[in-house]
């Protein structure tokens, strides 16, 4: 997309024309100054958004301290990314007979430990694994769309090797829905549970900042619908009625891309973040997990991941279980 800033040649031609008119010199000069000032302000805005987009998209400081301690029997785990960055997460074993593995991918401002606690309390019959995104303390490195995608594969492969689960379901909330979608496109999953998902960050930003060349500036478009289009995996979607972060149209665009939407439900009166405080959400989460499970039989999995392994076998240098906290 070309920039909307007035070209320099246009401004120079305008200045020459104004000078040749010979009348209204002060008005002409004021007009010229306004045009030049507006172009400069527009350029500064574009530049600032380009430089600050990672800070806006990945607010790492907002999630540095968890609100809750890890559940009893939870195990702290560390992996290494392909670039050698430290990835920190945790495994909470099922409190009942395990029906499978639930991989959690939170929003961009949800501490991973808190997400693990949230899921483990509500889903007692699944082993739950959640990791801090790369660059989100205590994980190292810098966050990016590519990094989050690569690390999701690495976490999945480690967890499947470690637990050999009969079923694997990914839970993705907000930004995490795009990460879960990418994982589903590259690893065999038994289901997806997507909360306040979107078709792409690119589409949301293009609508919100319609006066900016967003599609040319954005380095992390997170095109979730593109990942899921044509993918035969059961998916449950839970929406917030009063979502002011993800427009309804963007969630509906993702739903249209699903091949097997087994549940689409809305929590009445809930906002993008407040949805998790509603009892109705807990009920829908349980219903979503049942829905993705009942569409097809459980299957034993080959412990070797498809599409190539992204992590060393358990016991190698790629994974280091730590003592429970």
- Please state the φ and ψ torsions of residue 79, each to the nearest 5 degrees: -125, 170
What does the alpha-carbon distance between residue 152 and residue 295 come to, in Å, rounded to a whole number? Answer: 25
Q: Torsion over CA of 224, 228, 229 and 233, rounded to 10 degrees?
A: -160
Any idea which residue has 């920039």 for tokens?
3
In the predicted structure, residue 17 carries a pLDDT above the cut 70: no
The pLDDT tens digits of the residues spanning 215-268 come to 777 889 999 999 999 999 999 999 999 999 999 999 999 999 999 999 999 999
pTM: 0.79
Average pLDDT over residues 58-79: 88
Comparison of pLDDT for 153 and 68, the residue scoring more: 153
- Is 30's pLDDT higher than 80? no
Query: What is the CATH superfamily name and number for domain 60-319?
Result: Alpha/Beta hydrolase fold, catalytic domain (3.40.50.1820)
Query: Tens digit of pLDDT for each residue in 163-217?
Result: 999 999 999 999 999 999 999 999 999 999 999 999 999 999 888 878 777 777 7
Whether 14 shows a pLDDT value over 70: the answer reads no
- Which pLDDT does position 315 carry in this prediction? 31
Q: How confident is the model at residue 36 (pLDDT cuts 50, 70, 90)?
A: low
Instruction: Say whether the peptide bond before residue 138 is cis (omega within 30 degrees of 0).
Output: yes
- From the list 63, 61, 88, the residue with the least C-alpha distance to 273 is 63
Question: Could you tell me the pLDDT band of residue 21, with boundaries at 50, 70 and 90?
Answer: low
> Which residues fall within 8 angstroms of residue 174, CB to CB, at 6 or more apart?
106, 107, 108, 110, 195, 196, 197, 198, 245, 246, 272
Distances, alpha carbon 4 to alpha carbons 47, 214, 228, in Å: 13, 11, 33
Number of H helices, E strands in the chain: 10, 9
Q: Which of 226, 233, 227 is nearest to 291 (CA)?
A: 233
- Using the predicted structure, report yes or no on whether residue 272 has a pLDDT greater than 60: yes
**Of the listed ranges 149-153, 233-237, 283-287, 311-315, the one predicted with least confidence:** 311-315
């Amino acid at each position: 997309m070309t920039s909307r800033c007035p070209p320099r040649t246009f401004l120079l031609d305008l200045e020459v024309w104004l000078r040749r008119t010979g009348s209204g010199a002060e008005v002409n000069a004021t007009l010229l100054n306004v045009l030049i000032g507006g172009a400069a302000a527009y350029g500064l805005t574009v530049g600032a958004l380009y430089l600050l987009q990672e800070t806006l998209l990945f607010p790492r400081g907002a999630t540095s301290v968890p609100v809750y301690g890890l559940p009893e029997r939870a195990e702290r785990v560390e992996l290494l990314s392909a670039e050698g960055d430290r990835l920190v997460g945790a495994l909470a074993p099922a409190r009942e007979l395990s029906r499978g593995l639930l991989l959690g991918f939170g929003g961009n401002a949800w501490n991973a430990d808190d997400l693990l606690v949230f899921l483990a309390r509500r889903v007692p019959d699944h082993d739950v694994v959640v990791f801090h995104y790369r660059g989100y303390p205590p994980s190292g490195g810098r966050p990016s769309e590519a990094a989050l995608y690569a690390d999701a594969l690495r976490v999945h492969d480690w967890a499947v090797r470690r637990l050999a689960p009969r079923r694997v379901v990914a839970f993705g909330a907000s930004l995490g829905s795009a990460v879960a979608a990418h994982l589903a496109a590259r690893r065999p999953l038994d289901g997806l549970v997507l909360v306040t998902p979107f078709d792409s960050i690119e589409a949301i930003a293009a609508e919100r900042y319609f006066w900016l060349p967003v599609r040319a500036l954005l380095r992390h478009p997170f095109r979730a619908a593109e990942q899921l289009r044509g993918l035969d995996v059961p998916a449950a979607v839970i929406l917030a009625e009063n979502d002011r972060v993800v427009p309804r149209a963007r969630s509906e665009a993702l739903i249209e891309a699903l091949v097997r939407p087994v549940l689409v439900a809305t929590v009445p009166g809930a906002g993008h973040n407040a949805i998790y405080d509603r009892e109705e959400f807990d009920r829908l989460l349980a219903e979503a997990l049942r829905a993705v499970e009942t569409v097809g039989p459980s299957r034993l999995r080959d412990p070797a991941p498809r599409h190539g392994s992204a992590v060393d076998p358990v016991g190698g240098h790629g994974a280091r279980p730590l003592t429970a906290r």
